[in-house]
Amino acid sequence: PPTKKTRGGESSTSLEEYDKRWLQSLIASSVKMLKRLKAETRALLIGDLYTIFESSDLNVRKVIIQTTFQQDTGVLEYFREEDKVKWLFLIPKMIWDSFKAKETDVCLLGAEALLKLLQFSKPLDSAQKESLQLQLLPAFAIPTGKANATIWGPFPSLGERFQSCMISVLHYMDPLSEKLVKSLTLCALHPRLDEGIRLKVLYAVVFGVRRDPSLQLSFLSSLILKSCQDKSERASTITAYACMALKTSFSDRGGALFLLGNFVVSNLSAASCPMLESLVRIFNEVASGSDFESPDFLRGFADAVCVPMAYLFVKWAEAEVREENSKEEEGEEAVCLENVWAILRKSAAHPSIVSSLLSRLGTYVKEGGLSLPNNNAQLQLVGKSDKAMRGYIFSSIVYEMVKENLIVRGGAGAESLKACLQIVESLNPKVSSYAKFTYIKESFLL
């Protein structure tokens, strides 16, 4: 190896550094030769580069990537389409190996090379896309299926340049496979992910599954469920994005809304205020006033949202009756009824929503519980509660609805309310001394 002079005298260039420079020079010369070679000789040289890359360590791979794909993009015009495809399937493994070796700069080189190859190649066929997506999984995340454990790839942690390249790569993978969608769902919920990158991931996935409404809704419901179960700070962002996607990506907005509700409910394993608040918010923001003009929509809407609304009302009123809020009692934030009230006001011209809600609350008063259809079973939202307590809770809810002019004498739900009041009084005669119950009784029974 040559020597170089320094202020302190002479010092030898390391053999490793010398070998690296020699290799860079050799590969650079080989790449420049591509422009002068005949097609068959050029193919042999590209094949040799591929063989060296495939069998070499990370340092050699880094040099080849830098020289072949970074310094002279024009060299790709000399690659045959089959050569480009072969390289495409080598690079994902290099990204994973580099990440394990903590060579983050090589990960970035790999992502940039992958994107350039896709940009300068003909569109991949379905089989090639499916195979490449499987190879890309380790770059994002792999669920292990064991106690929600996940093997994380470099995507959540390597910074915006790498993340932006990989998101751009996704646009060449359309349509996205179910396995890759699950991997990207995990990434979208990663706490370290920048909010801007998170939104780009969401857009990329919704675009990549736009031809498969069922997979698109499954993706959105998984995001909502996971973010609410983990009490993620991103839950509100995820819910807002789901609302936007439902309003802009589906021609049958009502059908998509009900399917999403079914996806969420069928995968709900336990009652959760944040989860049901998100679901009610989605129904409120996606449904417009004109939607309620359709009897089919109105019926489906009532079936989908009235039990969640009743549950939130009960949890709120329980805290009210005990003169405590949920945070003091359970270590959680107080129940938010903003979207419940918004739905009731929006549908005020259509009495079936209020009547349906009162019917659910009446079931709660009579039977002591609330439940949702879930995987051919009944998910118990509110367990059997004290008879007296149920009367106070029901009275508090109805009192607020009367104040909002959602229930009026002779109006929608008045007959259902009378029946409920009689049940309340029969279960707990002492409720007659409760001021709110007395007010309601005098307004609707006397």
Instruction: Give me the DSSP letters along 86-128.
Output: HHHTTHHHHHHHHHHTT-HHHHHHHHHHHHHHHHTSPPP-HHH
pLDDT at 375: 56
Asked if residues 88 and 53 have their Cβ atoms less than 8 Å apart, the reply is no
d(CA 381, CA 369): 7
Measuring CA to CA, which residue among 173, 88, 86 is closest to residue 125?
Answer: 173
pLDDT at 99: 93
The residues, any chain, with a CB within 8 Å of residue 340's CB and separated by 6 or more, are 280, 309, 312, 313
Measuring CA to CA, which residue among 144, 151, 157, 39 is closest to residue 107?
Answer: 157
Asked if residues 275 and 308 have their Cβ atoms less than 8 Å apart, the reply is no
pLDDT at 138: 94
Mind listing the pLDDT tens digit of every residue in the chain (446 residues)? Answer: 444 444 555 444 444 555 666 766 776 677 667 667 776 777 777 777 777 777 767 777 777 777 777 655 556 777 788 888 888 998 999 999 999 989 888 899 899 989 988 988 899 999 999 999 999 999 999 987 776 688 999 999 988 999 999 999 999 998 999 999 999 998 988 888 888 898 899 889 988 888 888 888 888 888 888 888 766 677 888 888 889 888 888 888 888 898 888 888 888 877 788 888 999 999 999 988 788 888 888 888 888 888 899 989 988 888 887 764 444 444 445 778 999 999 988 888 888 888 888 888 888 888 877 887 665 556 666 655 677 788 888 888 988 988 888 877 766 667 778 778 888 888 777 787 788 888 888 887 65
- List % helix, strand, coil for the chain (3-state, nearest 5): 70, 5, 25
pLDDT at 327: 46
Asked if residues 297 and 243 have their Cβ atoms less than 8 Å apart, the reply is no
pLDDT at 378: 62
pLDDT at 12: 45
pLDDT at 412: 62
Asked if residues 110 and 62 have their Cβ atoms less than 8 Å apart, the reply is no
The residues, any chain, with a CB within 8 Å of residue 194's CB and separated by 6 or more, are 160, 163
pLDDT at 376: 54
**Amino acid letter, 161:** R
pLDDT at 24: 65
d(CA 398, CA 407): 8
Q: CA angle 154-160-162, nearest 5°?
A: 45
Task: Give the chain's length.
Answer: 446
What are the distances in angstroms from CA 262 to CA 9, 15, 214, 267? 76, 64, 11, 9
- Preceding peptide of 143 cis, ω within 30°: no
Instruction: Show the tokens assigned to 304.
Output: 């989908």
How does DSSP classify residue 35?
T
Measuring CA to CA, which residue among 115, 235, 95, 222 is closest to residue 157?
Answer: 95
d(CA 307, CA 276): 10
> Residue 352: phi, psi to the nearest 5?
-65, -30
pLDDT at 370: 80
Q: Which ranges of 141-252 does DSSP label H, i.e. alpha helix? A: 160-170, 178-188, 195-208, 213-229, 235-249
End-to-end CA, the chain:
105
- The dihedral formed by the CA atoms of 46, 51, 54 and 58, expressed in degrees to the nearest 10: -80
pLDDT at 1: 42
